[in-house]
């Protein structure tokens, strides 16, 4: 029994190690503006200031060259609705500031038809808004306004780590 406890303790120490986390491609994504699974601030909504929330990115894999962010709503009546596509984010960007695009990053076309962040605008009920961050072993040559399909095709075979979290927003 003592050996079993020692194994569990050792596994916990190894999994908590930042060096191991970087080598195992474990990433983190959060926001100081809302906790995971909780309501997003009104300023992030389309009817509010329509500003992307501040995001905190942690434990980027050492072999990553760039990051990709995809924000979507799986609860939209028309199916998966993309609110923001952003790629070639520098791996040094541990904070994505509210309402800003990091220098060198490129925005793609969202489901509203715009190459920018467009926040929550649920027609009814409460929707979930997922923030997906992926670390890539390359930068992408896609131009501004590329579609989600083009982005996902370009990412194929280059993802070396990822994380996601979500917030909610209710229709008024």
Can you give the pLDDT of all 172 residues of the chain as single tens digits? 454 443 333 334 333 333 333 334 689 999 999 999 999 999 999 999 999 999 999 999 999 999 999 999 999 999 999 999 999 999 999 999 999 999 999 999 999 999 999 999 999 999 999 999 999 999 999 999 999 999 999 999 999 999 999 999 999 7
User: Cα–Cα distance between 51 and 53 in angstroms, integer?
Assistant: 6
Tracing tokens 């930068």 back to the chain, one arrives at: 139
Total-model pTM:
0.85
Contact 146/105 with Cβ under 8 angstroms? no
CATH topology of domain 25-170: Phosphatidylethanolamine-binding Protein (3.90.280)
DSSP state of 45: S
Instruction: Tell me if residue 79 falls in helix, strand or coil.
Output: coil
Cα–Cα distances in angstroms (integers) from residue 67 to residues 42, 47, 56, 115, 124, in the given order: 26, 28, 13, 17, 32
């Amino acid at each position: 029994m003592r050996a079993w406890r020692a194994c569990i303790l050792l596994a916990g120490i190894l999994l908590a190690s930042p060096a191991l986390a970087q080598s195992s491609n474990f990433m983190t994504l959060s926001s100081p503006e809302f906790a995971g699974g909780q309501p997003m601030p009104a300023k992030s909504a389309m009817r509010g200031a329509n500003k992307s929330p501040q995001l905190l990115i942690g434990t980027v894999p050492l072999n990553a060259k760039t990051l990709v962010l995809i924000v979507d709503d799986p609860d939209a009546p028309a199916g998966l609705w993309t609110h923001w596509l952003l790629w070639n984010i520098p791996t040094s960007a541990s904070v994505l500031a509210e309402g800003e695009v990091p220098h060198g990053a490129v925005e793609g076309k969202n489901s509203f038809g715009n190459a920018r962040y467009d926040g929550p605008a649920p027609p009814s009920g409460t929707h979930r808004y997922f923030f997906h961050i992926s670390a890539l072993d390359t930068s992408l040559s896609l131009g501004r306004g590329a579609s989600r399909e083009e982005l996902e095709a370009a990412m194929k075979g280059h993802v070396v780590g990822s994380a996601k979290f979500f917030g909610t927003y209710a229709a008024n």
